[in-house]
Structure 1
Amino acid sequence: MKKYLAGVALSALLAMPATAQEDVTAATVLATVNGTEITLGHVIAMVQMLPPQYQELPDNVLLDGLLEQLVQQEVLASVAEGDIGTRERLGLENERRAFLAAMLLDEVGMAPVSDEDLQAEYDAQYGSLGPITEYNASHILLETEEEAQAVIAELAEGADFAELAQERSIGPSGPNGGQLGWFTAGMMVPDFEAAVFALEVGEVSAPVQTQFGWHVVVLNDTREQEPPGLDQVRAELEDGLRRARVDAAIQELTAAATVERPEIQVDPSVIRNLDLLAD
């Protein structure tokens, strides 16, 4: 479809039948292929399925191009339908099922989120939060505790932390002087984080072991960050509410459905056995 529409953008491929604008409806027939009608409604529905970049094409290009594509698809489909087998029939059933399920979930998820729900979600996530402490630290990552102790001794004698990080650190932050930037609780591995939180600004830690090796850490600074305002996290909260609404709908509808699973043992490897779909 993408290559086809890109070509159509250069030239119109099909002339439209003459129809008075006021008489046009979704049922207006734009083409008939071997007796099967292709309507304006088919084109409109197809436009809604296009990726955003193709929906930006001029309307005349979309109309001509999509109609021609529908004509060609009907020509091919009418031929293929005469030779459809079990594999194809089941594939069509799966496509129909997936389309209808996606349509319903889209309606559920994309329904407007009320300001009241948004405020309630913000209050639940951020209402009880006070200022959040952020930490700025640097580290030198080494392979052994002995190497870490040696680095600490050099720092005590006045060596520059950033220069030692560039020379000795085996971590990816070494070339940057060991700088880790700003982070909050929960962003670092627990042992490393605990060591940072115990430091005063400017203080160097004892060797800290994690799964990555041995760290020598210096706390550069701390600051208090106020929780984000509602407008800052509006999009994030809306996405979360929509996902929760979709999950709730799936659980509710599934619970209300009659689902029967016969007690039968199936070897999982059979899902790759195409011979089972042979006619």
Structure 2
Amino acid sequence: MQKPLTFLASAALSLTLALPVAAQDEPGLETVVATVNGTDITLGHMIVARASLPEQYQQLPDEILFKGILDQLVQQTALAATLDGDLPPRVTLSLENETRSLTAAEVIEGVMSNPLDEDAVKAAYEEQYASQEQGDEYNASHILVETEEEALAIKEELDNGADFAEMAREKSTGPSGPSGGSLGWFGKGMMVPTFEAAVVEMEAGAVSDPVQTQFGWHVIKLNETRKSEAPSLESVREELELQVRQTRVQEHIETVTEAADVDRSASEGLDPSVLKNLEWLE
């Protein structure tokens, strides 16, 4: 006689589980996650605490961070409630400085995020790249050997009409030997100083006397020179936009500071070493 009742109870339970759970309010900054002695700790407090963690801690799993941050905030709130007396100056002054700093940073962030004028970006590009004289680039080949005697012998053969690429493939000990000694295009600062100095003084088509570097002795042929090309605007856009934004921020800071009613007279005559008086903060 009990069997139908058991079945009905099970069916009712299954139906109950299948019903949609009543919708809960979406969590937000004001969502309370704990209270300590009547003081609320919210999701907002936790989010700010997480954002201030060092990068390596932010990589921890969410469930570990959630519990760890909540535990810390609970402990801090409980401890703060036990403070006997007023906050020491080091705390109140630090809070004032922090508020000042965060508020100023918010203003700067607003200036940084304002839309950019494309003309300003183009002007920065013209100033930094397009209007500047571009440096020289060199296309050279070389034959690398161990001794000056070998290099002199190679130079003599080249002066007598030997083919440079063939000589490089046959004689050079450098990695470019199999490709006829070709080094491709390079600009200033990309080669060792003595090698670069020799190339800079050469004319296209000329072959150098032996040049010594830490790698050995080189016989160099300058194939061609050209002026380096300025990068395209799009390839440096991100860099230029950041520069324009930073310049705009600096100009805003100067404008606001100049417009402010600032009186520094009270600081005149103070000994700069007064800032070392940490005992005043106790």
Q: TM class, shorter-chain normalised? A: 0.5 to 0.7
Is it true that 1:128 corresponds to 2:139 in the alignment?
Answer: no
| Residues 1:257 and 1:82: Cα distance change in structure 2 (over 3 Å) | same
Deviation at 1:74, TM superposition (A): 2.2
**Bigger radius of gyration:** 2
Residue-by-residue CA offset, 1:88-135 (whole Å, 9 max, x unaligned): 322222222222222322332244545554334223322335653136
Residue-by-residue CA offset, 1:151-200 (whole Å, 9 max, x unaligned): xxxx98999xxxxxxxxxxxxxxxxxxxxx94449x9xxxxx99985554
| Residues 1:219 and 1:113: Cα distance change in structure 2 (over 3 Å) | farther
Determine which of 75, 78, 84 is the counterpart of 2:78: 75
Percent identity between the two aligned chains? 42
Q: Which residue of 2 aligns with 1:268?
A: 272
Amino acid at match of 1:125: Q
In 1, the alpha carbon distance for the partners of 2:115 and 2:262 equals 31
Q: Which residue of 1 aligns with 2:232?
A: 229
Structure 2 length-normalised TM:
0.57
In 1, the alpha carbon distance for the partners of 2:243 and 2:106 equals 19
Within a 5 Å distance, the mapping from 1:170-249 to structure 2 comes to 182-184=186-188, 200=203, 223-224=225-226, 225-249=228-252
Structure 1 length-normalised TM:
0.58
Q: Which residue of 1 aligns with 2:110?
A: 107
Determine which of 27, 49, 60 is the counterpart of 2:52: 49
| Residues 1:239 and 1:278: Cα distance change in structure 2 (over 3 Å) | closer
| Residues 1:113 and 1:78: Cα distance change in structure 2 (over 3 Å) | farther
Aligned CA-pair RMSD = 4.6
Q: Secondary structure at the match of 1:25?
A: coil
List gaps (5 residues or longer) in structure 1: 1-18, 138-154, 160-180, 188-192, 205-217
| Residues 1:40 and 1:232: Cα distance change in structure 2 (over 3 Å) | same
Q: Secondary structure at the match of 2:81?
A: helix
Alignment length, in residue pairs?
A: 221
Q: 2:34·2:40 contact (CA, 8 Å) conserved in 1?
A: yes
| Residues 1:43 and 1:223: Cα distance change in structure 2 (over 3 Å) | farther
Q: Which residue of 2 aligns with 1:32?
A: 35
List gaps (5 residues or longer) in structure 2: 1-21, 141-150, 156-184, 191-195, 210-219
Q: Secondary structure at the match of 1:22?
A: coil
Deviation at 1:258, TM superposition (A): 1.2
In 2, the alpha carbon distance for the partners of 1:102 and 1:70 equals 25
Q: 1:122·1:237 contact (CA, 8 Å) conserved in 2?
A: yes
